[in-house]
Amino acid sequence: MDLLEITEKHQMQREKAADLLREIADSLTKHNGLDLMQNGKKLHIRVPDQVSVEFEVEIESDESSIEIEINW
């Protein structure tokens, strides 16, 4: 059973998606984790030095996707 699960899906410009990925990368590098706002409260998620990363690309005729998953 999950203690907490947050799922969000947004439409945005490609450049905004790139900004979001840079923000996540900077937070992992500088703060050893991620800070999220949920229901008006700040949530800090600590991320250890060693993680498992899965990168998946799907290319189809009508839609393509890139999925990046980080686990620890």
Cα 11 versus chain centre, distance: 15
DSSP E strands, 1-72 = 33-38, 41-46, 52-59, 64-71
Contact at 8 Å (CB) between 43 and 35? yes
Mean pLDDT in the chain? 92
CB atoms within 10 A of CB 24: 13
Domain residue spans of the chain: 14-71
Torsion of CA 33, 37, 40, 42, to 10 degrees: 10
> What is the mean predicted confidence (pLDDT) over 22-36?
93
pLDDT band of 66, cuts 50, 70, 90 = very high
CB atoms within 10 A of CB 8: 6
**Could you tell me what percent of the chain has a pLDDT over 70?**
99
> What is the mean predicted confidence (pLDDT) over 14-41?
92
